[in-house]
Amino acid sequence: MNICISGDKYCHYIAFDAYKYFCNHHSGDTFSKKEIEVHYCDLTEDNVLGWCERVDEDSWLVTIHNALGYEEHFRTLFHEFTHVVQDIFGIKDEEIRESQAYQIEGTMYREMCASLKSVP
Contacts to Zn ion by CB under 5 A: 101
Residue 95 CB, nearest approach to Zn ion (Å): 11
Residue 42 CB, nearest approach to Zn ion (Å): 19
Name the residue nearer to Zn ion (CB basis): 21 or 78: 78
First-residue to last-residue Cα distance in the chain: 27
Instruction: Report CA torsion sign: 73, 76, 78, 84.
Output: negative
Residue 89 CB, nearest approach to Zn ion (Å): 15
Name the residue nearer to Zn ion (CB basis): 40 or 86: 86
C-beta atoms surrounding 7 within 10 Å: 15
With beta carbons less than 8 A apart as the criterion, state whether 85 and 31 touch.
yes
C-beta atoms surrounding 8 within 10 Å: 14
> Which residue, judged by CB position, is nearest to Zn ion in the bound state?
101
Name the residue nearer to Zn ion (CB basis): 1 or 38: 38
